[in-house]
Amino acid sequence: MRTRDPESKKQQLFEAALAEFAEYGLAGARMDRLAKRAGISTGLAYSFWDSKEELFDAVFDQIVALTIAAVPIDADHLPEYAASLYGGGVEHPEVVRFMTWYRLERGESAQRAAATEAMNDKIAAIAEAQRHGTVTSAMSPGLVLALVLSLANMWHQPSEDLRQLVPEKERRQAVIDAVTRLVAP
């Protein structure tokens, strides 16, 4: 006798949705193909989310939550934080690709509550580190965060010219060194 496990099916659907959206984006993804990847029926997929767009946003929210859990910010150690973010992108290129599609198809105006809250928490942590004197106060906490995130993710951008400038084996250390110099008080 088979038992029903909706949470397991939902997780399978998330994993399939991440793969499908990373490959095709929102516009190119198809719910029937996505359901097949998950090993479930298309009808069951729609029982969890009413639309492909809703599922796309749910995958984004899950990525934000998983990233926060896997790589929590330690504002007193921003070089290591940036290196961990860089490493996450190396280990999970499908997430980087999904996030690129998300920005392309949702644009800057699609700021999700989970991402906004995460950014605000990170900015507050950096402001606290600035008050302690472990991070430069020459820049606003938001600017420090923007630059740290940019440095951590720069090698994941689809620009072969940029990636050719620094060998892959040196990139993690380059992120650490750049962020160390950036945030030094």
Same domain, 4 and 36: yes
The dihedral region occupied by 107, where left means phi > 0, alpha psi between -120 and 50, and beta the remainder, is left
Whether residue 56 is found in the same domain as residue 137: no
pLDDT (average), residues 4-15:
86
Same domain, 96 and 184: yes
| CATH assignment of the domain containing 17 | 1.10.10.60
Asked whether residue 48 falls in the same domain as residue 83, the answer is: no
Q: What is the CATH number of the domain that holds 157?
A: 1.10.357.10
64-120 pLDDT, tens digit each: 999 999 999 999 999 999 999 999 999 999 999 999 999 899 876 566 777 888 899
Domain that holds residue 35: 1-62
- Residues 45 and 77 occupy one common structural domain: no
What does the pLDDT look like over 120-176, one tens digit per residue?
999 999 999 999 999 999 999 999 999 999 999 998 876 777 778 888 899 999 999
Answer yes or no: do 89 and 166 share one domain. yes
Residues 76 and 145 in one domain: yes
pLDDT at 181 over 70: yes
**Distance separating alpha carbons of residues 152 and 146, to the nearest angstrom:** 10
Based on the fold, state whether residues 81 and 19 are members of the same structural domain.
no
Do 52 and 142 fall within a single domain?
Answer: no
The maximal CA–CA distance of the chain, rounded, in angstroms, is: 65
78 and 123 share one domain: yes
- Mapped to the 3 state alphabet, what secondary structure does 114-157 carry? HHHHHHHHHHHHHHHHHHHCCCCCCCCHHHHHHHHHHHHHHHHC
Domain count, the chain: 2
Per-residue pLDDT for 17 more than 50?
yes
Q: Which residues have CB under 8 Å from 69's CB, separation 6+? A: none
Same-domain status, 2 and 86: no
Band (1; pLDDT cuts 50, 70, 90) = very low
Has residue 3 got a pLDDT over 80?
Answer: no
Question: Looking at the structure, do residues 7 and 54 belong to the same domain, yes or no?
Answer: yes
Residue 36 confidence class, pLDDT cut points 50, 70, 90:
very high
